[in-house]
Structure 1
Amino acid sequence: MSQNVYQLFIFRIIQGAISGFIPSALAFVSAESPYEKKGYAIGVLQTATSTGQLFGPLFGGVLADLIGYRHIFQITGILCFISGFLLIFGAKEMKMNNFSNGGNELKNLLKNYRYAILENRNVRFGLMLIFLSQMSVMLVQPIFALFVESISGDVKHISSLSGFAFSVAGAFTILSAPFWGKKNDKDISKFGIHGYKRNLKISFAGAGISLLLQGLSGSIFLVILFRAFFGFFLGGMTPVLYSFVSRNVDEERQGGVMGIASSFTTLSNVIGPGLGGLIAGFWGLRIGFYLSGVISLFAVGIVRLIGRD
């Protein structure tokens, strides 16, 4: 219904302000899932989220060519209404939150931030790792197509190959997230917090090496291969980290703290692309991949600090 770009801008701000579905879904799944299956449940949720992020732009682009841009917004709005009705009449909250906020939402928000960042050491490390994991993804997003084009030479259908190369990481994340979630639950039952640490070390190290190899690649086919490896290890980062945060939070704080965790993801989504484009402009396209790889490898050191006094 927007008649100009300013109206669209305002409506997008309103949309961002009220669209808290992902943190709410994370809190709901974390609270309702049995303790021993939290990792698997969050892994499945991450799979659903990644599937939408992978296929949404694809279908949106195709439909925009067929029926126009305005109808895409209308279809999206209808899908949101359908999702809302399914939640209202389909989802049942078995574990009710008895936490009383006393009518002061801002005060409780500040309490949750203080608890997550200052009082709970494990949650603080978890939030840092969530930010770094997503930053390693977003730094290369704005430069990826340009990088693929720069190394491809006279390869035909470069646009299609570039899109496929970018999407293959999402596809492998979708496939691997439930595997990592289930593996994490199994390792937690055997090794406790060291199960988390072992899986996170493997995931961050594998992702870091994959990113460095992408930056060193001279062929689009090597980039596709290393993107697949990166997607596989990425599936062991985000759901495992959300599960880790969830397990280290009191039940009455689940919603607030999981929302903060989601906010750290959003913060990296805002900072990453701009920073990646700036770095590429000054130092070249490959530097973004190297920096992302170094960030992931640096995160391995942070993982080692988890659980220490």
Structure 2
Amino acid sequence: MLVWKRNLLVCWFGMFVTGVGMSQIAPVLPLYIDHLGIHDAGLISQFSGIAFGITFIISAVFSPIWGRAADKFGRKPMLLRASLGMAIVIFSMGFVQNVYQLIGLRLLQGVITGYSTACTTLIATQTDRAHAGWALGTLSTASVAGSLLGPVIGGYISENFGFQNVFFITGALMLVAFMITVFFVKESFSRQDAKTLTVGEVWNTIPNKNIIAVMFVTSFVITLALYSIEPIITIYVTQLSGNTSHVALTAGVVFSVSGLANIMAAPGLGKLSDKIGAQKVMLLALGVAGLVFIPQGFVKNPWQLMGLRFLLGLALAGLNPSVNALIKRITPQFLTGRVFGLNISAQYLGVFGGSILGGQIAAYWGIRYVFFVTSTLLLANALWAYLAVYKKLT
């Protein structure tokens, strides 16, 4: 097996587990905080929001820093640091005695993240251009699927095995990721290829800065679109179904079905981008995703919403591999880690921004407008991508 293909398999598992580790706490947070001694509903909501969101905000800050370290010291050391660090931190969450310790560990989890940045950089630099779209498309399914399926996995573990085992099992999986990274990831890295540049110098070194800017915004909008429904999904499903029986399970499936579609479609769409051009697949995916959001505001039952969310996942599956392939194409290799780190920061901000945006729009305008506003953002992004990327590269 080629080295990059073996590395791809290891990185896929590690990124999936990392995605689960970042998001698996969402459905159990209110219950776990109540278990830790906070019983006021208002305080539980506040602490839940802080504990969930702080990891993504801190990760957005530190991803470029670890990306720079990956360019300087190698990608494999960053994989080992992040996987072992997350294994210890997540496992430790099962032993916390109060909510402040939990928030502190979630903050620390955001600091030591960087597995996705190092994996994406490693595969992008090792893969030849003919296979880059397929490889990066396959890799992108891991983090998306982990993030979207994480709440379902966390909810299932907590319901059947208890709150603490959510953290123990996820920490153990991260330790497995660390071990297989030690033994199976191979990298040939020369430190003299690394250059120490300021952020301004990095930006000035990148050709086609406007294209990179579109890529960062697209990554932000992709994740914002996926997570804009998160704060209102349970309420919306309850309204559509007319009863509260199995609403939590139904809401979890509706939220996560996009991840399943992403896993199914991303490798194929990545391969298609290798053949016809990543800019074409990206533009088509943005347009389709923007249009699919509109009917979600008019559905009459949860099954219709589930079907549309599946179609949305198929469309969005073409975006991450296309964005990563274009970044690889126009970024000098010695800057790859830093640029991918900034791109992943945009994704983390999209997770946080989507959750905030969806809740605020639903509160002031109504749930259905969450879908209309998100559709507008995707279609506006498609227009910008057409003018700034498609016309320039085609």
Superposition TM-score, scaled by structure 1 size: 0.88
SS of residue in 2 equivalent to 1:267: helix
Deviations 1:170-205 (A, max 9, x none): 111110000110000011xxxxxxx22321221011
Whether the 8 Å contact between 1:36 and 1:185 is mirrored in structure 2 is: yes
**Other-structure match for 2:42:** none
Say yes or no: does 1:91 pair with 2:173: no
Return the TM-score normalized by structure 2: 0.70
Structure 1 unaligned segments of length 5 or more: list them: 188-194
| CA positional deviation for 1:20 | 0.7
Tell me which amino acid in the other structure corresponds to 1:123.
I
Cα 1:158–1:30 shift into 2, 3 Å = same
User: What is the deviation of 1:65?
Assistant: 2.6
Name the residue aligned to 1:208. 290
| Structure 1 pair 142–204 and aligned structure 2 pair: CA distance change class (3 A) | same
SS at match of 1:94: coil
Match of 1:181 among 270, 274, 289: 270
Aligned with residue 143 of structure 1, among 232, 242, 259: 232
Distance 1:120 1:166, change over 3 A: same
Confirm whether residue 249 of structure 1 aligns to residue 339 of structure 2: no
Looking at structure 2, the residues matched to 225 and 266 of structure 1 have their Cα atoms a distance apart, in angstroms, of 26
Q: Could you say if the C-alpha distance between residues 154 and 65 of structure 1 is closer, same or farther in structure 2, counting changes exceeding 3 Å?
A: closer
Which structure exhibits the higher relative contact order, with contacts defined as CA atoms closer than 8 Å and separated by 6 or more residues?
A: 1
SS at match of 1:216: coil
Query: Does 2:87 match 1:19?
Result: no
CA distance in 2, matches of 1:71, 1:165: 25
Q: % of aligned pairs identical?
A: 26
Counting matched residue pairs gives: 297
Q: 1:89 to 1:110 in 2, by over 3 A?
A: farther
2:302 to 220, 224, 235: 220
* CA-to-aligned-CA distance 1:123-150 (integer Å, 9 cap, x gap): 1111121112222222222112212222
**How far is the alpha carbon of 1:220 from its aligned partner?**
2.1
Give the aligned CA root-mean-square deviation in angstroms.
2.2
CA contact (8 A) 1:41 1:181 kept: yes
Map of 1:191 onto structure 2: none
Task: Structure 2: give runs of 5+ residues left out of the alignment.
Answer: 1-94
d(CA) in 1 for partners of 2:334, 2:122: 12
1:147-296, aligned counterparts within 5 Å?
A: 147-154=236-243, 157-187=246-276, 195-296=277-378
Name the structure 1 match of 2:68.
none
Aligned AA (1:220): P
1:33 match: 127
Q: Is this contact kept in 1: 2:148–2:255, CA < 8 A?
A: no
